[in-house]
Amino acid sequence: MMEFCWKFYENIKEVKVLLGLMLSLLVLNGVEPNCYKILDLKEGQTLYLQNDNYPNYGGENICTWKIHSSVIIKATCYIDLNDDCNENIFLFDDGNSTSYTTCGQDTITFEGFNSTITIIFASAFNQGRFICEIKTNTCQCGKKKVTRIVGGEETEINEFPWMTGIVDLNTNILYCGATIIYDRYILTAAHCLYERNINEIVAVVGEHDVSTGSDTNATKIYKLSECVIHPEYDFMKDAYNDIAICETVERIKYSPEVGPVCLPFKHKYDSFTNDIVTALGWGLNEYGGSKSDTLQKVDLKVIKCLINNTNIICTFTPGKDTCQMDSGGPILWNDPITNRIILVGIISAGEGCASNKPSLNIRVSAFIDWIVSITPDAQYCQVE
């Protein structure tokens, strides 16, 4: 272990010494630092950095770029230097580690959140070139629109753009919730689809008040082409695999009022115990009571389950709960670092509503691999 640490720190020292020597030699040879730029990248922007005269080799120069972004930043640099390892250097520093190239060809990649990267290119002769593509994340998942579950409150209109309802065409009743995860796919509870004819149900997005059609222009109905229930789901046995995916016939059109939630790729092993999550639904206001016309939200506490099953996430807050017809809807967690909303659970089962026992919800992170396998054409934001 001591030997490893010594080698690690020796490598860092080697980089600093090498860079210092290179810059000193270049300045002594009459090559003065001729560019120093500080740049701030906003969401959705792409920046290209390259040597002068690219794709030709650049001349004698020393350039430094410092690039910062408060969102996710992705960088790929392609370096092509001559074979004399004493005449050029390309250095890439992300604040935590440093990569450098002094000769030959190399590729450096980086991805991080709220990062500042520094790039230095120094060349003594006309025999080095590079190009970097630096772009910010364009993922649109998990963004709330700025604008009656038991013990809950009405949401703002289209506050949660991914919220979806499943409607029975025979009764015109919105009987279950679901969540947009991609522009062709919604995630829901398996029991919401059990023994249902896919031609007799539809998904409704952009909805808020089901009693009127004038509260929002975002509401749209989508027919379903296929629904896949988890192969290990057993309606008669338990709810441990109570998850299903439905594909829409046409792509769901995104807008500020309609869009996808983030999936918990980064939080696959997080328990969320003691965290506060938000449940959504149009379900009953109390056990055996009336159904809510408007979308309701309620904050619940995640607790440790008495059931030893990693597929389940338990919630309990006195006087607050999900209820009938909330099934299939989302359990949401706000990532305090990225401020994006993550789908951590699917409302599944409970004993009564707001009873003294916790509700059982499907832990989405336990099914990430299955979700990806069922939706191979989807391009999810894996770093939200």
Q: What is the pLDDT of residues 344-362, one digit of tens each?
A: 999 987 554 545 678 899 9
Same domain, 62 and 173: no
> At residue 26, does pLDDT exceed 50?
no
Residue 53: inside a domain: yes
> At residue 302, does pLDDT exceed 80?
yes
For residue 140, the model assigns a pLDDT of: 75
Which residues span the domain enclosing 176?
Answer: 153-373
For residue 152, the model assigns a pLDDT of: 53
Q: Is 327 a catalytic residue?
A: yes
Which residue's structure tokens are 């364009």? Answer: 138
Same domain, 230 and 335: yes
Structural domains in the chain (count): 2
The one catalytic residue among 69, 123, 327, 348: 327
The one catalytic residue among 242, 321, 326, 348: 242
pTM listed for this prediction: 0.68
Same domain, 222 and 367: yes
Same domain, 256 and 300: yes
Same domain, 132 and 163: no
74 or 193, greater pLDDT: 193
User: What single DSSP character describes residue 290?
Assistant: P
113-127, 142-156, 203-217, 224-238 — most confident range: 224-238
CA 267/CA 383 separation, integer angstroms? 10
56 or 298, greater pLDDT: 298
* H and E: helices and strands count for the chain: 2, 20
CATH number at residue 106: 2.60.120.290
CA 66/CA 116 separation, integer angstroms? 7
User: Could you tell me if 163 and 203 are in contact, meaning their C-beta atoms sit under 8 angstroms apart?
Assistant: no
Same domain, 163 and 118: no
Token representation of residue 218: 């975002």
Residue ending a domain, choose from 136, 171, 203: 136
For residue 31, the model assigns a pLDDT of: 41
4 or 342, greater pLDDT: 342
Same domain, 62 and 95: yes
The one catalytic residue among 69, 93, 191, 230: 191
Token representation of residue 315: 């919630």
Residue 23: inside a domain: no
Q: Is 267 a catalytic residue?
A: no
CA 218 to chain centre: 23
Same domain, 128 and 198: no
